Structure 1
Amino acid sequence: MTTPDITLYTYGTQNGVKVSVVLEELGIPYKVKQVELGKREQYEPWYLKINPNGKIPTIVDHSKEDFSVFESTAIAIYLCENYDPEEKLLPKNDPKLRSQVIQWVMFETSGIAPAQGQSNFYCRYLPEKIPFAINNCAKEIKRLYGVMNKSLEGKEYLVGNKFTLADAMSYPMIRGHFFSGVESIDEFPNLKAWVERIDTRPATQKGLNVPVPDKMKEYRENPEKLEEFEKLIQSFFKEKQT
């Protein structure tokens, strides 16, 4: 296996930390470049060369001729396929287990991430609150949480009763449920226990603090910090509209 030489371009968002969590869980050495979203650095020509979509995260694999990969799910799968010989996060030799992991990864990509992303917009970013939109987003998030809660019944993790990419990709989003308008997940005991279980994983926790200290933890523990962030991001959206 090629010795990895990877640069991670990211920011401390729920989506951004997914890749640093995977890198840490796999024990892959990497360098970090924080992309300054507030300064619109993601739209600068140098960044668009490695990520034409102008989003974070992105990796550049210097050990493979500076091969760049964008989109968090695509990056996670790439890392597992190239640098997970022990099959820590993604099975390779068991087609059924591999499919199950990928199914849950896609469930997060097509369901949880967009649902919570949209809810973040209505709950936190948009200066004018629209109750119908906020309630509708929360309803869909809870539906998705219900699917996971039922699937976790009698299990510690989603697939094979071990921590895999299926868990690693969903956890950064679900732990921030309060940020997305779902204040409590007490009604989903299996899911809540799953979150608490992953909370104890040192590698995952390290990944959550890349490239800056864990923002979700800060916002949960300090509501005034969350309020400050809301005001900042709302002013940013107002500027964009003028």
Structure 2
Amino acid sequence: MQLPEVLLTYWFDSVNAVNFQFRYYGIYGSKPQTQPLAFGGTIIAPPTASATQAQQTQKLNPGGTRWYTFGGYYERRLTPLYENYESGLPQFLQGWDSRARIGLEFTYNDFRINDGTPLFSQVSPFEARIRFHDKGLPIPVIGIEERHWLGYNFAFEATAQGYWANKWNSGRSEGGTVYDSQSGFETHWRIIYSNPQYRGFSPFAGLNYNYTKYTQTSAGVGNFLRVQLFGPEVGFNWSI
């Protein structure tokens, strides 16, 4: 999986800001499938042992999946609230710039297997796809960011952000009311290089962890998706 992200921030003053966040989940990989698989109202995989070899074994992949998130947030620097009292704190707690954010995030997820058209066990009017966003809701998100200068031109940054919603009425009906449940958490640990000669350009490298769980349920719906990833990241900040 690849997870490119763009985060735009506009500061009204030295304390208050707004953010817009966009992410794209690029999913890759495949797996040979030799057993029947129920998905999206139909059956994928070989119908009988007498089927052709192509029907008995096929490689399933998430090709064609379109998965994005859009977020809007209010961000506030917390440091001015306590910086006059830092002298009484232990040394390792001094010198941090703290920021908090709160906002809404919406997930667009058109999840597909083989772009919706793998080999089915029989003629089917369905595609192998689930449009999670059709029954999804914007979800409140909270987060925090901490930054500390390590020395000349280098800073350490740690962020954490999460959300949780359990069985919210989606306003849609399919065999009864569809309830939307979403939960997620992400954290980033980065080393940032900042040099005034670069005119606001600051590259960074680090590690990130991301967990997402999506459940939609009703008498006629049972959609479930869970993804967990951990890996390196690189990027840059640019301020004007």
TM-score by length of 2: 0.24
Q: Which has the higher helix share?
A: 1
TM-score by length of 1: 0.24
Q: Which has the higher strand share?
A: 2
Structure possessing the higher radius of gyration over alpha carbons: 2
